[in-house]
Structure formats: structure tokens, C-alpha cells
């Protein structure tokens, strides 16, 4: 059996010899399938109609290795957890269960990012050491969802699955992925985040990354300033420091205010707001951007003074 390993994870494990600018603190693995995903998400390298390199997910390369070799090398990476990514194909659930059984003796907590499965499968995941589930809602706008996702799973299916995950694993154990920059307005993004936090889910933000060979290869990434505004809104909602009614928007749905004066935000907001927000131990280095640029999601906590500089630039 083979499994894909993110390039940075493979370096940390010693499977590839190369330099790293930031070490991954989670081992990022992905199910191996020789074909493409059954879904056709416009941004995804693995999509049904994508012409992009199958070894990639977003801008990251995921070479395949024999599972036995990966299991042997995993302890060398000194990871806090394993994150198993999946694409949708016939027999995927069986492969995930096989992988979980093989990985369990390592004793690491495991997150699984997966398309909707039955509650019985979620229960089985939990019995095999899974403690968090990643839910790829991705699109924050219900009006855009069917256009961007072109998926076997509807908008309502994804919300129902999120509810099932929370029922099985508990509050805060569903990390719903949202991609900033797919055509949604700030208002739509904030409304969706508020609804997710209202049902005790968590939100993990990504920045849209155009990749050659996908339907959105010619679209643009969001500006860093816009992304920082959305990160700040996510934190305020998740920490219970603001509700949807506190935010203000212009006529085009752009986020213009947070309901809290800048002077107070400087004291309230910790620098890790602008780092990767995911399962415990996740830092996801350079998933959205090239290493030499300022990252959308820092792989480690920025300096304290960074908060004021961000607030000065967006308010």
C-alpha cells in the first residue's frame, strides 16, 4: 500500500534530502490513488477535470512512498500529530480505515480531512484514534458553492456532515476549511464563520492559490490586507469577543469595522491570530504561498509587535 507524503513532511522524516525554511509540526499524509478525485472543485489540483500534476495539492508536492517505509520513518519527524488528507474515489473509506489501523501503533493523535461519510464511519474513525475531522466546505458563499465546488456533495450536505462530526467527536472537533478569495464577499465569509462558531465548529482559513491546470488558474489570490481582516474577524468570533452584529460592511460587502476600537484590539489580539489555525500541533508551512513571501498563515507565532503593524495597515 502506498501513501502520499507532503514534501516538507518527507524532509522532516528523512525520506527526502533537502532544506526546510520551516519544519512541519504535523505529519501531513494523503491517500494514494492513481486517478483524479470524483469531485471537480475549480481550485483543486486533484479535481476531475484538472490538468495539473497529480502529485500536488494546492502548491505543495506530495510524492508517494510505500506505507511500511513511511511508518518506519515517522518517529524521526518528532511530529505532534498526523493529518490524513483524502481525495474522493471508489474504495477511499476502506483505504482510510486501513491506513488508520496501520498508523495507530505509533500513538499519535490523528486528524482526517474527508468528504461526508456516514456517522457509523465517523464512530469507527474515533475508535481508531481520530480526534478531529477536517470538513472541506471551502466556499463561504452558498450562491457560489455549486459553481466553484461542482461536487457530489451539496452545500446542505456539508453542513449536515459538520453537525454529525460535532455529535460524534464533540464541540470544537470539526475544523471547517474556508478559502478566502473564491469570489465571496467579506460579509458572506463573516456570516458563514459566525454560523459555524454558533454551532460549536472551528474554522481553519486558507488563501486561494491559483495553480496551473485548474479551472481557476488565471484568478488572483486575495490581498494580504483582506486576508488579515478575515483572520481578525475569525479570531473575534471564535473567542466570543464579537458577534455578527458587531461587524460593519460597505455596500459591496467589504468588511470595514470590527465593533472594537483599534486601541483595544491591540491589547486584545494575540499574535498567533495570524498564524495557522488548525488542529493542535498543526502549522502547515507555506501551503498557500512561496517561502520568500510574507505568509498568509505564519507557521509559527509572529512577534508581539506584528499585531499593531497589521492593525495600522487595515484600520
SS3 229: helix
Q: Please tell me the distance from the alpha carbon of residue 34 to that of residue 221, in angstroms, as a whole number.
A: 29
Q: Which domains does the chain have, with CATH numbers?
A: 2-223 (3.20.20.70)
- pLDDT < 50 stretches in the chain: none
pLDDT at site 151? 96
Q: Please tell me the distance from the alpha carbon of residue 191 to that of residue 47, in angstroms, as a whole number.
A: 27
pLDDT at site 107? 96
Maximum Cα interatomic distance, the chain, rounded to a whole number of Å: 56
pLDDT at site 10? 96
Q: Answer yes or no: are the C-beta atoms of 297 and 212 closer than 8 Å.
A: no
Residue with cell 498567533: 272
Q: Answer yes or no: are the C-beta atoms of 11 and 18 closer than 8 Å.
A: yes
pLDDT at site 52? 75
pLDDT tens-digit profile of 144-164?
999 999 999 999 999 999 999
Q: Please tell me the distance from the alpha carbon of residue 245 to that of residue 252, in angstroms, as a whole number.
A: 17
Q: Single out the residue of 283, 274, 277 nearest to residue 314, CA to CA.
A: 274
Amino acid at each position: 500500500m502506498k501513501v502520499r507524503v507532503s514534501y516538507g513532511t518527507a524532509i522532516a522524516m528523512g525520506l527526502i534530502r533537502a532544506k526546510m525554511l520551516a519544519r512541519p509540526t504535523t505529519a501531513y499524509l494523503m491517500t494514494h490513488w492513481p486517478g483524479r478525485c470524483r469531485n471537480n472543485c475549480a481550485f483543486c489540483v486533484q479535481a476531475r477535470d484538472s490538468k495539473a500534476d497529480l502529485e500536488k495539492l494546492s502548491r505543495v508536492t506530495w510524492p508517494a512512498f510505500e506505507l511500511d517505509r513511511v511508518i518506519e520513518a515517522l518517529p524521526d519527524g518528532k511530529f505532534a500529530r498526523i493529518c490524513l488528507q483524502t481525495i474522493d474515489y471508489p474504495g477511499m473509506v476502506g483505504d482510510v480505515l486501513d491506513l488508520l489501523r496501520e498508523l495507530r501503533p505509533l500513538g499519535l493523535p490523528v486528524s482526517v480531512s474527508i468528504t461526508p461519510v456516514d456517522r457509523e464511519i465517523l464512530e469507527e474513525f474515533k475508535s481508531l484514534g481520530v480526534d478531529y475531522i477536517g470538513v472541506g466546505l471551502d466556499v463561504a458563499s452558498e450562491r457560489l458553492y455549486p459553481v466553484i465546488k461542482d461536487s457530489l456533495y451539496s452545500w446542505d450536505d456539508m453542513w449536515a456532515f459538520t453537525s454529525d462530526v460535532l455529535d460524534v467527536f464533540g464541540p470544537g472537533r470539526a475544523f471547517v476549511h474556508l478559502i478566502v478569495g473564491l469570489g465571496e464577499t467579506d460579509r458572506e465569509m463573516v456570516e458563514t464563520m459566525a454560523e459555524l462558531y454558533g454551532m460549536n465548529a472551528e474554522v481553519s482559513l486558507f488563501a486561494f492559490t491559483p495553480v496551473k491546470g485548474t479551472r481557476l488558474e488565471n484568478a488572483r489570490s486575495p490581498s494580504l490586507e483582506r486576508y488579515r481582516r478575515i483572520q481578525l474577524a475569525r479570531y473575534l468570533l471564535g473567542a466570543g469577543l464579537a458577534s455578527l452584529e458587531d461587524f460593519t460592511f460597505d455596500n459591496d460587502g467589504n468588511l470595514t469595522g470590527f465593533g472594537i476600537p483599534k486601541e483595544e484590539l491591540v491589547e486584545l489580539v494575540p499574535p498567533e491570530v495570524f498564524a495557522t489555525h488548525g488542529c493542535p500541533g498543526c502549522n502547515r508551512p507555506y501551503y498557500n504561498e512561496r517561502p520568500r513571501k510574507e505568509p498568509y498563515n505564519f507557521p509559527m507565532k509572529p512577534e508581539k509587535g506584528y499585531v499593531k503593524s497589521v492593525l495600522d495597515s487595515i484600520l
